[in-house]
Structures are given as structure tokens and as C-alpha cells.
């Protein structure tokens, strides 16, 4: 098997950079004997609320749980429709199905890969309760247009920010424009822990109170359960790791942007489409994704050279077996075309320009 010399993400190199601080933070949790709903989680929620500019943040067990519990807290259920994108990780649509609501898909913008507000507008019906956009790959969606649609039609706006922690649109961070913002701390995210973790942010007191009960078996007082809840808590070790990494998030995102721009400069004369940036937003490049008509040939050349690559996402959600039932007779041509051409290249804060030069060299050689 060909050795991978340039991985998609190198989590070890980041750990080594922060090793002293992270080891100390983890040791402090082990020494404390507090592992669930303790001081590390409480302080992390305060710190990330300040970072995001949100009134409330509620740590949960994963990004998928963040989406699921956000919809439960918002009262969305059977008979309701939630409009979302077919070009995303499956968790976005899963959360809608979990609560018994119907996912309604709206196509994407071919430049940003994010949901197209005009397509959302056409998808609204009398059963629509919410719009769930994804800030895909770290690129903010057209959130002001989407919020305006939600206000006009009295709909909830729930943001999937799994890939956009630290991204901004206008003067607001992603996650703070809607009623609820949902984050993932999966290890490969811009702000990643060393296991699963997630968070919901909101400026609404009622939703925050409900979410705090939902994540803890429907309880706000010991052994008093006011609603059907879940076991979904961000543990103390993960919170401690996240507190260390949060201090460096702006720097990490700056490096991601520098690396992405360096990629785009090197690839600009090749037969690929490099990522575009919404001029109203700050793209923080959780994933650097190009479009190419020669994806298989290019991916084979990268693999042969020991360079990782990935396809996010090869199958649109409406073509996944379970979700076909929600899109019978419908087509989303942009999502379907993009899924055949996307290819993601290695990108992380510690990636060097020399490594990027090597990736660009292999891409150029494969396409010439």
C-alpha cells in the first residue's frame, strides 16, 4: 500500500504543539474526580458564548445530538416540514427524521455549495416550520436572505454550523443569526475535541432552558424529570481540551485561510474550479474542495504520490436509500452535478506551503 505522506488532517502535529497545555488540562480533570456536568463544561460554555457572541451555549454529546435536540426544543415534530440542503453530511437530514418531521430539500448554489435562498423560497408550504441551512466546508450560507425568508413566513431558523466554528457573516458569527445554532466538535473540525462533542447556542431563554433539561434526561432538579429527555452531555475531559484549543481558534482559522488562498493561487491556471468566497462572509475552510471533471484520474495520481484526498459528498442525501422517500419525482441538478465533481485536498493549520506546493504539482501533472 502506498504510504500517505500528506494526510487530509494531521491531528497529531496539533496535539504535539499543544501537548503541555492539553495534558495539564486533562490531568486536572482526572485529579478532580468530576467527569460529567462539572466546572470545565460550565466555564467552556461561558467562554465559547463570549467567542460566538451568543447569550446561551449548551454543550451536548455530539454535533448530531446538537441538531436533534435543537429541533426537539423548538417543538418540531410529525406533520412539520423542515427545508434543508441535499448536499451535506447525512446528520443534517437525520435530525429532521429523528423528530418525525419531513425533510424538504432545496438545491444549492454552484459556487458556494450552500443552499440557495431562491430554491428555499420555492419550497415553502403551509406545513413548513423551519429552515435548516448548512454552512458547508466553513463557508457561511446566505444567512441574511434566509433569515428574511423565515421572518416573512414565521419560520424557525436553525443553523448547522458543524463545519463553521469561527466563521462569520457580516457582523455576526455563524450560529448566532438563527433561533438555534448547532456545532460539532468532532476531532477534525476547526475546533475539535478528542472524541465526540457538540453544542447548541441560542439567544432565547426558553430554548436554552429546555435544551439544558433535554440533554440531562429531562431534568433540571435531581430525580425530577419534567419531560422526556436524553443522555447527551459534553463530558469534562472534552470540555477541558476544547478550552485549550478555543484560545487558538482564531489563529488556526487564519492559518487555514492562508493555506486555502495559497492553494487557490497555485491551482488558478489548472483545469479545476477552486473554492469561491461569499464576499459578505469569512470562510474558515474546514475543508478545501475543488471541482474537477477528471476526479478519478486526479485522485489516483494523488494516492500514488502519497497524498490523501476525499470526496465530500459522493451521494446527495436525496439519493440515499432511506431519504429517497422524501424526494420522489424530484431532482436537484446542482447538487447532483457537484457530487460528481467535488474533490477535497489536505488542509489544516499546520500544513506547510511546501506541502501545498507538492499537492499542486501532482494535481498539475495529473491534469496535463
CATH tag, 249-367? 3.90.1150.10
Backbone φ/ψ region at 113: left (φ over 0), alpha (ψ -120 to 50), beta: left
pLDDT of residue 368: 83
Average pLDDT of 7-36? 98
Cell of 232: 447527551
Residue 1: predicted pLDDT: 43
Above 50 in pLDDT, residue 14?
yes
Query: What are the residue ranges spanned by the domains of the chain?
Result: 11-246, 249-367
Tell me the pLDDT tens digit for each residue of 101-130: 999 999 999 999 999 999 999 999 999 999
Please tell me whether residue 347 adopts helix, strand or coil conformation.
coil
pLDDT in tens, 37-65: 999 999 999 999 999 999 999 999 999 99
For cell 470545565, the residue is 40
116: nearest Cα among 97, 131, 130, 103: 131
Question: Taking the model in full, what pTM does it have?
Answer: 0.97
Which CATH number is associated with domain 11-246?
3.40.640.10
pLDDT digits (tens, 9 = 90+) for 214-256: 999 999 999 999 999 999 999 999 999 999 999 999 999 999 9
Q: How many CB atoms lie within 10 A of CB 228?
A: 10
Task: Report the C-alpha gap between 82 and 72 in whole angstroms.
Answer: 13
Amino acid at each position: 500500500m502506498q504510504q500517505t505522506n500528506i494526510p487530509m488532517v494531521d491531528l497529531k502535529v496539533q496535539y504535539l504543539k499543544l501537548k503541555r497545555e492539553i495534558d495539564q488540562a486533562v490531568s486536572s480533570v482526572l485529579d478532580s474526580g468530576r467527569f460529567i456536568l462539572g466546572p470545565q463544561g460550565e466555564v467552556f460554555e461561558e467562554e465559547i458564548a463570549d467567542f460566538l457572541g451568543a447569550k446561551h451555549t449548551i454543550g451536548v454529546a455530539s454535533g448530531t445530538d446538537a441538531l436533534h435536540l435543537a429541533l426537539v426544543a423548538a417543538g418540531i415534530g410529525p406533520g412539520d416540514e423542515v427545508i434543508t440542503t441535499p448536499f451535506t453530511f447525512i446528520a443534517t437530514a437525520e435530525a429532521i427524521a429523528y423528530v418525525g418531521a419531513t425533510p424538504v430539500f432545496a438545491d444549492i448554489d454552484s459556487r458556494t455549495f450552500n443552499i440557495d435562498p431562491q430554491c428555499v423560497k420555492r419550497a415553502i408550504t403551509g406545513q413548513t416550520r423551519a429552515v435548516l441551512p448548512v454552512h458547508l466546508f466553513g463557508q457561511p450560507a446566505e444567512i441574511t436572505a434566509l433569515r428574511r425568508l423565515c421572518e416573512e413566513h414565521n419560520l424557525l431558523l436553525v443553523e448547522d454550523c458543524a463545519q463553521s466554528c469561527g466563521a462569520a457573516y457580516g457582523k455576526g458569527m455563524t450560529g448566532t443569526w438563527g433561533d438555534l445554532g448547532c456545532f460539532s466538535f468532532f476531532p477534525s473540525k476547526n475546533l475539535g475535541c478528542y472524541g465526540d462533542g457538540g453544542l447548541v447556542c441560542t439567544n432565547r431563554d426558553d430554548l436554552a432552558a429546555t435544551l439544558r433539561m433535554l440533554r440531562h434526561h429531562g431534568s433540571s432538579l435531581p430525580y425530577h424529570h419534567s419531560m422526556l429527555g436524553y443522555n447527551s452531555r459534553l463530558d469534562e475531559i472534552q470540555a477541558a481540551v476544547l478550552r485549550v484549543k478555543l484560545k487558538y481558534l482564531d489563529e488556526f482559522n487564519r492559518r487555514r485561510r492562508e493555506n486555502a488562498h495559497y492553494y487557490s493561487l497555485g491551482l488558478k491556471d489548472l483545469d479545476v474550479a477552486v473554492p469561491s468566497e461569499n464576499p459578505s462572509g469569512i470562510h474558515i475552510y474546514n475543508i478545501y474542495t475543488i471541482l474537477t471533471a477528471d476526479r478519478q484520474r486526479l485522485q489516483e495520481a494523488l494516492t500514488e504520490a502519497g497524498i490523501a484526498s476525499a470526496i465530500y459528498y459522493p451521494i446527495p442525501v436525496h439519493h440515499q436509500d432511506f431519504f429517497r422517500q422524501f424526494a420522489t419525482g424530484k431532482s436537484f441538478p446542482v447538487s447532483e452535478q457537484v457530487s460528481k465533481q467535488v474533490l477535497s485536498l489536505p488542509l489544516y493549520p499546520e500544513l506547510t506551503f511546501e506541502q501545498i506546493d507538492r499537492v499542486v504539482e501532482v494535481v498539475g501533472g495529473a491534469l496535463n
